[in-house]
Structure 1
Amino acid sequence: MSITPSPLSLAPLTPGNLDAALALRVRPDQEHLVAPVVKSLAEAYVHGEAAWPRLILDGGRPVGFVMAFFDITFYPDRPGDGPRSGLWRLLIDAGEQRGGHGRFAVEQVCAEIRRRGGSRATVTYHPGPDGPEEFYARLGFRPTGETSGGQTVAELDLPPLS
């Protein structure tokens, strides 16, 4: 019996796929929940190695964008608040939602955090009935009680590498 490889993958942004990444859009009713790709790429440029932007591909076709962050201290003025890693941005194109692309991207970010020695993933999201709270809860993220820029902070403990 042969195992069919997943058609889903992540790819670094390149001059060859930049326009496809910039063309990705969420539904109009979701635009207040996630910044466009162009803002994410500007943030990635400013934060350098701490940012990890990737195009989400399904059989080589761009369907979304994910950006992770690694070892950033968000609140240096808070005692005990050390570096965190996690999901910075997740955008699945309007016509591609509910196809498992978001779950795949979050799983890949978590795997990268583990590869880099991390044991916890952080995410922030807009609270409310139209936000992604249920999506992240299904993946195991639990609110920490913190907020960041009006967004809920949630964390997921990652299993050790086997």
Structure 2
Amino acid sequence: MRLERITPENYEAALALSVRPDQEDLVAPVVKSLAEAYVFADHAWPRLIYDGDRLVGFLMAFMGIPWDSNRNAGDLRSGLWRLNIAADAQGHGYGRFAVEAVCGEIRAVGGTRAYVTWEPRVGGPEEFYLKLGFRPTGEQSGGETVGVLDL
């Protein structure tokens, strides 16, 4: 498994990536993520996930985003912003690989915590993130649960 930058050669394959139909309300499509990566270029870290030559997923991390300037101006956070694993590639460890890769990047820039949010509903990714060691912070972001992992 490896991560690759989005390039003129692979972006169309990235745009065609889709999750299972029952997950479409849980994660934005890759096209929205790429638009956000363009708009928030100073903080977004988008990558494609490959297994050999096969595209199996997309991730986007965020690096050093101020969390809540009203509470704590120095609270800069990094973590997993988006994770899309192709419908036919789920259950093979690609999600775990993606989270570990993001955590490695955060460590490389001196970060000590990784954050993620998830929709708190049946069929959502909460169990996946909890198994990886994330714990709820008690905060919400856009109605989603905020989780943190100490690195």
- Asked if these proteins are the same fold (TM beyond 0.5), I'd say yes
Kept in 1, the 8 Å contact 2:115–2:147? The answer is: yes
Flag as ranges the 4+ runs of structure 1 deviating above 4 A.
none
Opposite residue 37 of structure 1, the aligned amino acid is: V
**Equivalences for residues 11-160 of structure 1 within 5 A:** 11-79=4-72, 82-158=75-151
Partner AA of 2:90 in structure 1: Q
TM-score (norm 1): 0.91
Identity over aligned residues, as a percent? Answer: 64
Quick one: which amino acid aligns to residue 75 of structure 2?
G
Give the corresponding residue for 1:3.
none
Q: How big is the shift at 1:120?
A: 0.3
CA shift for structure 1 position 109: 0.2
Point out where structure 2 has 5 or more consecutive residues left out of the alignment.
none
Cα deviation, residue 126, structure 1? 0.4
Scaled by the length of structure 2, the TM-score of the pair is: 0.98
1:80 positional shift: 5.6
- Contact 2:137–2:146 under 8 Å retained in 1: yes
Structure 1: unaligned runs, 5 residues or longer? 1-7
- Judged with a 3 Å threshold, the aligned counterparts in structure 2 of structure 1 residues 81 and 152 are, in CA distance, closer, same or farther, namely farther
Which amino acid is the alignment partner of residue 121 of structure 1? A
Contact 2:66-2:73 within 8 A present in 1 as well: no
RMSD: 0.9
Q: Matched residue pairs, number?
A: 151
Q: Out of 68-77 and 114-123, give the one that drifted further.
A: 68-77
Paired letter, 2:150: D
Which residue identity does 1:84 align to in structure 2? R
AA at the equivalent of 1:44: A
Distance 1:41 1:73 in 2: 21
Q: Secondary structure at the match of 1:129?
A: coil
